[in-house]
Structure 1
Amino acid sequence: MEKYSYVTKYKDNDLFRAALNQLTRDTFGFDFESWYQNGYWKEDMYMPHSLMDGDRMVANVSANRMTFVIDGEIKNYIQIGTVMTAKEYRNQGLGRYLIEKVIATYKNQCDGIYLFGNDSVISYYPKFGFQVSKEYIYKKHLIKDEMIKKLSKNSEGFVKILNPSNEDRVRFFEYVKDAVLNDGMIMRNLGLMGFYYHEMEDIYYSKRLDTYVVATIEDNTLNLSCFIAKRKVELSEILDSFADVAEAVILDFVPSDKSGFEVEEFKEEDCTLFYIGEDLQRIEREQLHFPLLSHA
Structure 2
Amino acid sequence: MAKRLMEEVLRDWADRCDGMFLFANETVLDFYPQFGFRREIQYQYTLPVPTARGGARKLSVDSLQDLALLRACYKRGNPFSALQVVENFGLLMFYCGSFLKDCVYYIPQQNAVAVARQEGPVLQCMDIFGGSDLEEILSQTAAPGTERATLGFAPAGSSACCAEPISDDSDALFVLAGKENPFSHRQLHFPDLFHT
Determine the structure 2 residue equivalent to 1:198. 97
Change (3 A) 1:278 1:136: farther
Unaligned stretches of 5+ in structure 2?
Answer: none
CA distance in 2, matches of 1:236, 1:284: 28
1:162-181 CA-to-partner distances (Å, cap 9, x unmatched) read 47412221331232134363
Return the offset for 1:143: 3.5
Determine the structure 1 residue equivalent to 2:74. 176
Change (3 A) 1:137 1:163: closer
Return the offset for 1:279: 4.7
One-letter amino acid of the counterpart of residue 93, structure 2 = G
Percent identity reads 28
Unaligned stretches of 5+ in structure 1?
Answer: 1-93
Determine the structure 2 residue equivalent to 1:272. 172
> 2:35 matched to 1:128?
yes
Return the offset for 1:265: 0.4
Return the offset for 1:194: 2.4
Return the offset for 1:262: 0.7
> 2:132 matched to 1:233?
yes
CA distance in 2, matches of 1:163, 1:125: 37
CA distance in 2, matches of 1:134, 1:266: 7
Aligned length: 192
Determine the structure 2 residue equivalent to 1:218. 119
Return the offset for 1:244: 3.0
Q: Give the SS at the match of 2:154.
A: coil
Counterpart contact for 1:169–1:198, Cα < 8 Å: no
> 2:109 matched to 1:208?
yes
Change (3 A) 1:258 1:280: farther
Change (3 A) 1:245 1:159: farther
One-letter amino acid of the counterpart of residue 206, structure 1 = I
Return the offset for 1:220: 1.3
CA distance in 2, matches of 1:280, 1:293: 22
- Calculate the aligned-residue CA RMSD, in Å: 2.1
One-letter amino acid of the counterpart of residue 235, structure 1 = L
User: Which residue, 162, 166, 184 being the options, matches 1:262?
Assistant: 162
One-letter amino acid of the counterpart of residue 170, structure 1 = A
Higher Cα radius of gyration: 1
TM-score, with length taken from structure 1: 0.60
Counterpart contact for 1:143–1:243, Cα < 8 Å: no
Change (3 A) 1:216 1:243: closer
Change (3 A) 1:278 1:129: closer
CA distance in 2, matches of 1:174, 1:269: 35
1:96-128 CA-to-partner distances (Å, cap 9, x unmatched) read 111111111111111111111111212111111
Question: Which of structure 1's runs of 4+ aligned residues deviate more than 4 A?
Answer: none
158-167 or 113-122, which moves further after superposition? 158-167
Counterpart contact for 1:221–1:249, Cα < 8 Å: yes
One-letter amino acid of the counterpart of residue 13, structure 2 = Y
1:136-157 CA-to-partner distances (Å, cap 9, x unmatched) read 111022244xxxx5xx25xxx2
Return the offset for 1:206: 1.4
One-letter amino acid of the counterpart of residue 95, structure 2 = Y
